Structure 1
């Protein structure tokens, strides 16, 4: 009888582990017109068919708003804002909700399976570089795309509403996104680790205020060592050149340091979650093995 009771206790314990609810994320819900901050902005990739555009509108929950300002983005915009190919087909689409000063920048990739190279942390880093703050940005695509062109849609949205972002900063932000995705793909480094590297370099630049390219190079090298990341000489040089451009543009990362700190925490949560689930799987496997051994012992 004691052995049978023990079996039931172990089964109950296993059920209680599985029954723990996972964290859920609330949607933005119904929103009326914010008279202070203006209408939500939706920018569609011009290459979308009408059916695809309708699908994207559903994904971005456009109908939850009483009114929106709608625009489209094409290859000419890509060329104008970041010097890209004017013949490019644009599919990535975005919705932007302006927020009060101090509320920060949040990014959500609604169609993660269709944005194949750029993570929300990469978008956040690039947009902070470009000078975009205090906004909620949703990115979606009805077809598989790298995700780079979503930046252009965001830039156009701000431009169309009369908010002029610095052209040099927009170009550097685009370069940053290119380098981040290249390093992740070519060097075989986890995307979250690359985002963490970029974030930590920016934080170090904000704290140390390097005056020369050599000092920027030293910061890059220190962060590579701290995060135990090995890059080719070419990619180390690309990072150095990128952040030296930021230094020459006098981008004040002190102004967004809290967001950079939050971004670091977010990335660490993702990395730690991977470790947690790996340990959890091992624990479950070990549990079942122990249960099997215990049950076998009852009949020996």
Structure 2
């Protein structure tokens, strides 16, 4: 290879690292099988064609691991785990890597352009409700989808590996995801703000330990007012009913309070940073300006 060409490509990596210090270039080196935690789990949507499945496998970096446990999520699974339509087409796919206690739940939507309704904060909230902890979860789809079936895939993965999640909690978590995406879609509330609302309500339930539905309703009302979110009476009632279900299930949100605090903090930081996108745009412009100058110096 021409030395100038090689130097050019090296410069791209160096410049990218200096302009975007948060970017990491993933290694595909496998660190071997974790005998304590088990193999990574990959769950593919049944509706994927073979070529789409291969694309998703690349997106989820399945080849990064020497071995994985693979499963397929079907319409029958969505009926089994959350009472959904057994004729549903399942596209969303996931990879789950179990972690030691204390690592928390980390969600990464690999294809955010194709997961149109569910944000990583919504997934985090729903999975904490379902009782999923200490795992890295990657979500991907090769076509545009809402993202709901990924939740079912995660449930199936845990079930297949012998980890029994509470069925009622799984159903409530699915309802939570439906309510969150519905409010964002129908009411026009920003997705991050919806996630913040759900998180704050859970934190208040953990703190106040409401004993009645009326107390749950007051918590919902207070948080709506605090975040200045206006909802229809129907959606207000859906929120109250949702969290009343959680209260009746005695879900211990105090157990995952630190993760709820972290989730709130990350959401507030993003929402309060009015210059975030301006900074990103400036960084991109600066990167390409530096790159252009360097290229000109190489080939002049």
Question: Normalising to structure 2: TM-score of the pair?
Answer: 0.85
Pairs within 5 Å for 1:152-231 = 152-231=152-231
1:21 — aligned with what? Answer: 19
Q: C-alpha offsets along residues 64-112 of structure 1, whole Å, 9 cap, x if unaligned?
A: 0000000000000000000000001100000000000111000000000
> How far off its partner does 1:269 sit?
2.3
> How far off its partner does 1:33 sit?
1.0
> How far off its partner does 1:280 sit?
5.7
2:255 — aligned with what? Answer: 255
Instruction: Give 3-state SS (helix, strand or coil) of 1:108's partner.
Output: strand
1:232 — aligned with what? Answer: 232
2:122 — aligned with what? Answer: 122
1:4 — aligned with what? Answer: none
Q: C-alpha offsets along residues 185-210 of structure 1, whole Å, 9 cap, x if unaligned?
A: 10001000000000000000000000
Q: 1:88 to 1:278 in 2, by over 3 A?
A: closer
Q: 1:64 to 1:280 in 2, by over 3 A?
A: closer
Give ranges in structure 2 of 5+ residues lacking alignment: 1-16, 283-300
> How far off its partner does 1:272 sit?
2.7
Contact 2:201 2:223 in 1 (8 A): yes
Q: 1:136 to 1:168 in 2, by over 3 A?
A: same
Q: C-alpha offsets along residues 132-156 of structure 1, whole Å, 9 cap, x if unaligned?
A: 0000000000000000110000000
Instruction: Give 3-state SS (helix, strand or coil) of 1:162's partner.
Output: coil
> How far off its partner does 1:23 sit?
4.2
Contact 2:28 2:63 in 1 (8 A): no
1:106 and 1:277 mapped to 2: Cα distance?
22
Q: 1:23 to 1:125 in 2, by over 3 A?
A: farther
Q: 1:42 to 1:280 in 2, by over 3 A?
A: closer
Structure of higher CA gyration radius: 1
2:279 and 2:101 mapped to 1: Cα distance?
41
1:211 and 1:74 mapped to 2: Cα distance?
39
> How far off its partner does 1:270 sit?
1.9
- Aligned-residue Cα RMSD (Å) equals 1.9
Q: 1:77 to 1:22 in 2, by over 3 A?
A: same
Aligned residues: 265
> How far off its partner does 1:277 sit?
3.5
> How far off its partner does 1:30 sit?
2.9
> How far off its partner does 1:21 sit?
2.5
> How far off its partner does 1:217 sit?
0.3
Give ranges in structure 1 of 5+ residues lacking alignment: 1-18, 284-300
Q: 1:125 to 1:142 in 2, by over 3 A?
A: same
Higher relative contact order (CA 8 A, sep 6+): 2
1:131 — aligned with what? Answer: 131
Mean Cα displacement is larger for which, 20-29 or 77-86? 20-29
> How far off its partner does 1:22 sit?
3.2
2:107 and 2:28 mapped to 1: Cα distance?
16
Instruction: Give 3-state SS (helix, strand or coil) of 1:63's partner.
Output: helix
Pairs within 5 Å for 1:28-43 = 29-31=28-30, 32-43=32-43
1:164 and 1:30 mapped to 2: Cα distance?
32
1:145 — aligned with what? Answer: 145
Instruction: Give 3-state SS (helix, strand or coil) of 2:19's partner.
Output: coil
